[in-house]
Amino acid sequence: MKTLKILAFLIVLAVAAGFGTKVVRERRAIRDQVAESKAAAERARDELRAIYGERLDFLKTIAPETADQIRARTATLDLRTSEGLDQFDYFQNVVAEALTKWMNSPKAKGSPAVAKLKEIEVRLDRKRAEFHAAAFSANDGLVRLHDTANSVAVFKAESILRSQTATAMASPSAR
C-alpha cells in the first residue's frame, strides 16, 4: 500500500512537471507574439504619423494658415495620454473636414490634386486598420498571458494539495 501511495505521489509530480514545461513554452510563445505585435503597432504608428504629415502638407497647399495652426498645436501634444490622443484626433478631424470641404468646392473639380488626396486617404485608412489590428493582437496576447498565469496558479495550488494529501497518506501516522 505504501508503494502505491509513493507511486501516486511520483505520478502527480511528473504530471505537474510536464504541465509546467508546456505552460512555459506556451507563455514564451505568447510573449513573443505580443512583442511582435507591439513592434508592428509601433511601426504602423510611425507610418501613420508620416501619412498624417503628408496630409497636413497637402492642406498647406490649400489653406496654409490652417495647416500652420494645426501643426503648431499638434507638435506639443503628448500622445501617450488619453487627453493628448483626443486632441490629436480632434485636429485630424479638423484637417479631414477642411480637405473634404476643398474637395467639394468648384476649385477642386478636375484637379489632379484630388487624386493625390484620395491616394493619401486610402493609405491612411489601410495604415489605421493595420495599426488597430496589431494593437488588438498585442492586447489579445496580454489577455491570454494573464489567463495562462491564472491557470498555472490554480494548477500549482491543486498540485501542492495533491502532493500534501499523498504525503499525508504515505506517512505512518495516516495508517
Please state the domain count of the chain. Answer: 1
For residue 150, name the pLDDT band (cuts at 50, 70, 90). Answer: low
Give the chain's mean pLDDT: 77
State the pTM of this model. 0.63
What is the span of the domain harbouring residue 54? 2-174
Give the pLDDT confidence score for residue 90 in this predicted structure.
Answer: 85
pLDDT tens-digit readout, 69-87:
888 887 777 766 778 778 8
Section 137-155 average pLDDT: 72
- DSSP per residue, the chain: -HHHHHHHHHHHHHHHHHHHHHHHHHHHHHHHHHHHHHHHHHHHHHHHHHHHHHHHHHHHHH-HHHHHHHHHHHHT--TTSHHHHHHHHHHHHHHHHHHHHHHTSTTTTT-HHHHHHHHHHHHHHHHHHHHHHHHHHHHHHHHHHHHHHHHHHHHHHHHHHHHHHHHHHHSGGG-
pLDDT surpassing 70 at residue 154: no
